[in-house]
């Protein structure tokens, strides 16, 4: 099952600060809902573990995250895939762009994701609702982390 999502947020910090936070594994780990571990394995890749519950299905996903098309400090493409055992798999990516605006930095994202296994059987509306909630939670947490800088 495939899904797409997009949105934007204005963060109360300058572009270099937002860029630094987007590349800080400790900040990302604290902001990603359900994230248990996030370790940098190179300048452009991470290993991650996240515990996620979608309706009646809960699973711990382990996977890799890679950064490509890096245009510091303007944006990048982030892509990853995770395996959740019998719950299924998730893979996808997002294009993240930063733009200086009055009052801070506008972060724009376009996400494409695919899921399979038991998760895909739950239905599109439930999956999209949970994905949107997780994205909103991530950006709310990220805005707090940037504000605290």
Find the mean pLDDT for residues 44-57.
89
Contacts 24+ apart (CB under 8 A), 77-85: 80/48, 82/48, 82/50, 84/52, 84/59, 84/60, 84/117, 84/119, 85/59, 85/60
Q: Examine the pLDDT at 58 and tell me if it is beyond 90.
A: no
0.75 exceeded by pTM: yes
Find the mean pLDDT for residues 97-114.
94
Find the mean pLDDT for residues 20-49.
94
Percent of the chain residues past pLDDT 90, beyond the cut: 57
pLDDT in tens, 111-142: 888 888 887 788 777 778 888 888 888 888 99
Find the mean pLDDT for residues 65-70.
95
Give the pLDDT score at 120.
Answer: 79
Classified as helix, coil or strand, 144 is helix
Find the mean pLDDT for residues 63-76.
95
What does the CA dihedral 29, 33, 37, 41 come to, rounded to 10 degrees?
Answer: -60
Give the pLDDT score at 149.
Answer: 65
Q: Examine the pLDDT at 18 and tell me if it is beyond 70.
A: yes
């Amino acid at each position: 099952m495939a899904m797409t999502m997009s949105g934007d947020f204005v963060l109360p910090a300058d572009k270099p600060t937002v860029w630094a936070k987007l590349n800080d594994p400790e900040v990302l780990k604290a902001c990603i809902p359900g994230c248990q571990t996030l370790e940098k394995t190179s300048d452009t890749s991470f290993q991650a573990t996240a515990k996620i519950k979608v309706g009646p299905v809960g699973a711990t996903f382990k996977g890799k995250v890679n950064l490509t098309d890096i245009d510091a400090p303007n944006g990048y493409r982030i892509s990853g895939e995770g395996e959740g055992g019998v719950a299924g798999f998730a893979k996808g990516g997002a294009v993240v762009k930063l733009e200086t605006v009055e009052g801070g930095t506008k972060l724009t994202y376009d996400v494409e994701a695919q899921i399979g296994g038991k998760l895909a059987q739950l239905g599109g509306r439930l999956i999209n609702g949970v994905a949107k909630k997780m994205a909103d939670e991530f950006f709310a947490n990220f805005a707090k982390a940037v504000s605290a800088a």
